[in-house]
Amino acid sequence: MNARLDEQLTAEERAARGKAVRKVVPLESHAEVRLDPKRDPVGLLLTQADGRVPELVPIRNGRMLVSPFTFYRGAALVMAADLAQSTPTGLSVQLSGDAHLSNFGAYASPERRLVFDINDFDETLPGPFEWDVKRLATSFVVAAQDNGFSAKECREIVLTAVRSYREAMREFAGQPILEVWYARLDVEESAKRLKATLPSGERKGLKAARGMLSKAYTRDSMQAIGKLTTTIDGRRRIVSNPPLVVPMDELTDLDGAELLAQMQDLIAGYRETLQQDRRHLLDHFRLTDVAHKVVGVGSVGTRAWIMLLESTVADEALLLQAKQAGPSALSSYAGPSEHVNQGERVVVGQRLMQAASDIFLGWLRADTADGEQDYYVRQLRDWKLSADIETLTPEAMTLYARLCGWTLARAHARSGDRFALAAYLGKSPRFDEAITTFATTYADQNSQDHKTFAEAVQSGRVQAREGV
């Protein structure tokens, strides 16, 4: 079954197809971790250096070296290869492709409400729904272990995430598709509703989470402009902070003036991927400065540009980020994208899975000396807020797990067959328990892979630059 639904089937027939899948892939089978005996996680990761900025690859490796959790964040390709060893359910959805807990967060909707959703789609691709669930569940085990939580606390957190996913999917199966499509997690409204229903222990987590919200409202485009730019000789410029932020006139391998001219042409192409009203909005601004920026963990080494756009009105400015998009890490295992432009792949997947997307979300293709490069474009910052995972208590992480599980189910219900998925998952906790067992086992494997990666750095097989 693929992500494109058979509209000729009734809801009952689609549910029956979901139940039938249990005979091929029993719920209990998800507990098993199957690995290729010839697997080489370090070798797989080294293949991702191709096409990246060579001098930045050691920074990526250094960030992955910090802990099992940072390693996990950068090892989506490794896990995709491992997940492909198991029999797929065939219940396909639009996958995030890298649904670990740090790739969820809050941001501003176009209506200027703070919403919680998945916020990273670099690896998005259609595929078996369980791949996202297993990656999310395992991320909670790895993060909880990094925080020093007990085995019992780790298990309860993961069970909460998977149970939230399963129960939400069953709720979505009972709703009209338009209701599912409009469903979103408004942070303020959800906090009020949750307060009355949560056990007293989890209310502590809610209190801590609400304490972070005030930060989000200040993390808008103007705050980013104030932090990342300065005025020199009456002109606003992006502040240099090498190697993390390098303005165009400091790039040794590129001509700054030529780059700006190329970017101005690319903006015109990007403009055509926006809705008509948003093209009109973009037309108020013109590109005035560009800088290269190092982002994330797994993304380090790919090209990511900060683009400063200003209007003729004082203090009216906009910061966009153009991030290079290559083939999904899942493509060797779930199949190639139907989109030729990888930036379009990311944008289409994001729009399908998110309840509300950035109004400036679009894509472009650049012709460079190294060949064609695809990018997706979005605002650099718009009320964006991610949880500080290292500071979460068991209660706060349990609440966070509940939110992530619901959010992932909503994304899958939009893109996949919610009737088949709900019927497959069922009412019992068998799926929850199986995934929790898988996550615990795979977290141990991730720790071993991190150790192997560290040994590869020590032996010189992998070059790493730490502390950047």
CB atoms inside a 10 Å sphere around CB 153:
18
What is the structure's pLDDT at 183?
A: 94
What is the structure's pLDDT at 274?
A: 96
What is the structure's pLDDT at 2?
A: 42
Residue 92: which H helix or E strand, with range? Answer: strand 92-95
Question: Among 390, 344, 384, which residue's Cα sits nearest to residue 364?
Answer: 344
What is the structure's pLDDT at 206?
A: 55
Cα 24 to Cα 89: distance, rounded to the nearest angstrom: 8
Task: Encode 415-432: b = buried (16+ Cβ within 10 Å), e = exposed.
Answer: bbbbbbbbbbbeeeebbb
Is residue 198 exposed (0-12), middle (13-18) or buried (19+ Cβ within 10 Å)?
A: middle
**pLDDT by residue (tens digit) across 46-70?**
999 887 888 889 999 999 999 999 9
* Inter-CA distances, 75 with 35, 39, 128, 131, Å: 15, 13, 19, 14
* Inter-CA distances, 434 with 34, 101, 133, 439, Å: 14, 19, 11, 9
Break the chain into its structural domains and give their ranges.
Answer: 11-215+389-459, 221-379
**pLDDT by residue (tens digit) across 2-54?**
445 666 899 999 999 999 999 999 999 999 999 999 999 999 999 998 878 88
What is the structure's pLDDT at 38?
A: 95
Gyration radius of the chain over CA positions: 22
**Which of the residues in the chain have pLDDT under 50?**
1-3
What is the structure's pLDDT at 1?
A: 38
Cα 352 to Cα 55: distance, rounded to the nearest angstrom: 35
- In degrees to the nearest 10, what's the CA dihedral of 423, 425, 427, 429? 170
**pLDDT by residue (tens digit) across 219-244?**
556 667 878 888 888 888 889 988 88
Question: For the whole prediction, is pTM greater than 0.85?
Answer: yes
Question: Among 122, 40, 118, 104, which residue's Cα sits nearest to residue 302?
Answer: 122
